[in-house]
A and B are shown apart, each in its own frame.
Chain A
Amino acid sequence: MGLPNPVVNQSKNVNIRPQETELRYESKLAVTWKRFKKNKLAVTGLIVFTLIVLIAILAPWISPSKPDVYDILDSNLKPSAKHPFGTDSMGGDIMTRVFYGSRVSLTVAMLTMLCSVTIGVIYGSISGFFGGIIDNIMMRIVDAIQSIPTFFLLLIVASLMVPTMWSTIFVISIFGWTGLARIVRGEILSIKRRDFIEAARATGEKNKSIIFFHVLPNAIAPIVVIATLDIASVILSEAALSFLGLGIQPPTPSWGNMLTSAQDLTTVLDYPWAPIFPGMFIIVTVMAVNFIGDGLRDALDPRMKQ
């Protein structure tokens, strides 16, 4: 039984501090991940979505053919070893086009999501932070946009533009931010009354830095959830627009414009594989993203409800 060695103790003390902060820093993400991992649907969704993203990235290497190669003699072929998903009416390989189409559809979904999240966060922050008459007017505009059936708006704006990938992104994002703006505003209204915002103000911080460094980080959970679910709804909107010929234009393949062939009801019964495979990719991707979104919602904040 000797006396405790002061040198050892001291070194322990030195070691403890950084470990503690590291632990605390990790814990927020780690706890979220731990909760997320328990949700089997969410993990399945994540795996499936990752696979589809990999397909999109690796499309040039894993596709059986090239997206712009048509052989009219090989049109409307049944799925076979050479053409696992069959061929379309132009003789293009459907698997190749679905794989390349996932590049287009996912790019549109991601970029649109980023655009509408940016607009929604900025709009909602301004509205919630300043409050009063500004908030009132800004929220009435959101009400008005939300009252107009989105698809009518999409069709109008889409019909005014020459349809390209960029116009599709533009069209879907300019009306897609309202839901998020409303939620960000609500979060900010409740956060801005807390003491630490008062403290930040007392130290002389400017409005902009208060919003970005103190308010928004605390509203991140709902933003992440909505942004994730947004990807799913954008995929559906893109598919709908392209289906009607107002979105991505052939020969560029997208999941939506590959379904256009299904409009011809007389042939689709004979060649059902042409719409089925792109349709399946849409449905599976949207479901996967929705599972991830729901899982994130439960993991980030168990109190949050739809």
Chain B
Amino acid sequence: MPKYIIRRTLQSIPLLFIISIITFLLMTLAPGDPTAVYKNPEGKPQNLEMIKKELGVDQPIYVQYYKWIKLLVLHGNLGYSFQDGRPVTEKIMERVPATLELMGTAIVISILVAIPIGVYSAVKQYSLLDYIFTAYSFLGIAVPSFFIALVVMLVFAMDLGWFPVSGMRSSYDHFNLWDRVHHLFLPAMTLAFGLIASKSRFMRSSMLEVIKQDYVRTARAKGLSERKVIFKHALRNGLIPIITIIANRLPDLFGGALFIETIFAWPGMGRLSFSAIFIRDYQVIMGTTLIAAVLVVLANLLADILYAFVDPRIQYGKS
């Protein structure tokens, strides 16, 4: 087992390397001359050369990449924001907790709702409720996340006034749990809306698969009650693939969170990168993209290790 963990961890290093190359290439593809802001019609051309040298843009692209990755790996430095000159790492790190809070809540809600739906739909396949849940899951996948966010906001925040329209808290003075939950509810539910749809569908097919297995038939044959068969024998095994699906869908979740954060003015990474796009703050855009990708890789790593723990059928030696 430790061998498997080490092997799997080492595998993600080349992956992170390729991700950093892709992100860097996108950044250098950005149009416009980075020295343009320093151009002065009265200035000497030599000065411009000096600035170019200082910024390092006169060097070939692989040298630029090497310098960039060296700073990143050794000092955790992702450059400086074009907007306010603050370190990008610092700007992102203060946004990460809000994003994790939102996404984590949405994931937990979606699991708590999707699993019972999936189990019920599988056990009572083709029942009326199964059809209703199926209709919901198709609808949930088809509705754009920003659309549902706007509808929810209009109905529950603006028309009914049950929840605050935006933000994460009412005041920064003191921590107020109720206030935080109150603010978190709408964005988290909106984000969970789509997640529940896809996860309950997945849970349903996973359970249907498991119910057909021999060990479930054996459990029935030895006279266990249906409840025990479903919850003790089938559910445990049906749950395993859910671990992978959560990690696999994480990139989509980041994308969804980007919209929800922007619409609900939630101070997370998505909103940071969204606002950075409109002021062309490339360092911040690349930073958030890279951090999001790293979080995805870590989550997948974690999911694979967890999977190996709960499913002994995984062969540790092979990837």
Residues of A within 8 A of B (CB): 140-141, 143-153, 155-157, 159-160, 232, 236, 239-240, 243-244, 246, 259, 262-263, 265, 268-269, 272, 275, 279, 282-284, 286-287, 290-291, 305-306
Known: A140-B14, A159-B277, A306-B205. A147 touches B144 (CB 8 A): no
Minimum CB distance partner of A162 in chain B: B31
Task: Provide the bound-state CA to CA distance between A145 and B296, in Å.
Answer: 11
Interface centre among A145, A148, A262, A282 (most CB of B within 10 A): A148
Task: Provide the bound-state CA to CA distance between A159 and B284, in Å.
Answer: 14
Minimum CB distance partner of B153 in chain A: A265
* A141: B residues at CB distance < 8 A: 18
* B71: A residues at CB distance < 8 A: none
CB <8 Å contact, B205 and A305: yes
Nearest-neighbour CB distance to chain B for A25, whole angstroms, equals 34
CB <8 Å contact, B289 and A156: yes
Known: A149-B296, A152-B288, A155-B273. A143 touches B15 (CB 8 A): yes
* B274: A residues at CB distance < 8 A: 155, 244
Minimum CB distance partner of B21 in chain A: A144
Ranked 7 nearest A-B pairs via Cβ = A151-B255, A149-B254, A144-B18, A286-B142, A149-B251, A148-B293, A287-B142
- Does B67 interact with chain A (Cβ within 8 Å)? no
* A145: B residues at CB distance < 8 A: 22
Task: Provide the bound-state CA to CA distance between A151 and B271, in Å.
Answer: 13
* A243: B residues at CB distance < 8 A: 144, 146
Q: Is the interface of A mostly helix, strand, loop or mixed?
A: helix
Nearest-neighbour CB distance to chain A for B95, whole angstroms, equals 14
Task: Provide the bound-state CA to CA distance between A290 and B143, in Å.
Answer: 12
CB <8 Å contact, A148 and B154: no
CB <8 Å contact, B142 and A283: yes
Task: Provide the bound-state CA to CA distance between A144 and B150, in Å.
Answer: 32
Nearest-neighbour CB distance to chain B for A40, whole angstroms, equals 11
Contact string against A for B residues 98-136, beta-carbon threshold 8 Å, 1 for contact and 0 otherwise: 000000000000000000000000000000000000000
Inter-chain pairs besides A151-B254, A152-B254, 5 sampled, C-beta below 8 Å: A151-B256, A156-B277, A243-B146, A269-B158, A305-B205
* B63: A residues at CB distance < 8 A: none
- Does B297 interact with chain A (Cβ within 8 Å)? yes
* A147: B residues at CB distance < 8 A: 15, 19, 251, 293, 296-297, 300
CB <8 Å contact, A282 and B147: yes
Q: Per a CB cutoff under 8 Å, which of B18, B139, B146, B159 touches A287?
A: B139
CB <8 Å contact, B255 and A149: yes
CB <8 Å contact, B202 and A306: yes
Minimum CB distance partner of B141 in chain A: A290
- Does B29 interact with chain A (Cβ within 8 Å)? yes
Nearest-neighbour CB distance to chain B for A156, whole angstroms, equals 6
Could you list some 8 contacts between A and B, CB below 8 A? Answer: A151-B254, A151-B258, A152-B254, A159-B285, A160-B29, A240-B145, A240-B146, A284-B142
CB <8 Å contact, A155 and B277: yes
